[in-house]
Amino acid sequence: MTKDSKNEDLEGITLNVYLYVLKRGKPVGPREVMKAANLSSPSVAYRHLQKLEDLEYLQKNEYGEYITKNRANVQGYVWFANRLIPKMWRYSIIFLAILVAEAVILYIHYTVETYEFKVFFLLLILITVLAFSVFTIEGFLQIKRRSNDRHE
């Protein structure tokens, strides 16, 4: 099975089950997954857990419960420590760093620079604030869409 076909299989309910097992951080069984993912029966939960095991994202322990084995690449998200965060937040952090650098430069040069420099830098800061805001809001909207998809 290729890496691309593995990622195509990880969507919908299967993705929600995988994210639940990751978030839980402890071994889980089909009944627990059924309740947490709002599934109709333990056999449906078992089918999704088995699929994740076949894709090598989960493995069974000696008690028949499932634990995480490998990290999955989830479209639109990146791994940060043990959490999935929206990719948009990565760009948001970059623009935040640029914003801090611009503010420090403006503060240092404010008393000695010309009026044109100050106006230019304030416009530059405004553009950076807008970019930071857009990427931050898009990251939150991505999380909201993902949580809405889970509840449908």
pLDDT surpasses 50 at 78:
yes
Task: Tell me the CATH number for domain 3-68.
Answer: 1.10.10.10
User: Within 13 Å and on the Cβ side, how many CA atoms surround 30?
Assistant: 14
Q: Cβ(142)–Cβ(88) under 8 Å?
A: yes
What SS3 state is found at 78?
strand
pLDDT digits (tens, 9 = 90+) for 104-139: 999 998 888 899 999 999 999 999 999 999 999 999
Domain boundaries, the chain: 3-68, 80-151
What are the phi and psi torsion angles at 75 (to 5°)?
-60, 130
Residues paired with 80 in a beta bridge: 83
Q: Model-level pTM? A: 0.68
What is the per-residue pLDDT across 1-36, written as a single tens digit (0 to 9) for each?
Answer: 444 555 555 778 888 888 888 888 889 999 999 998
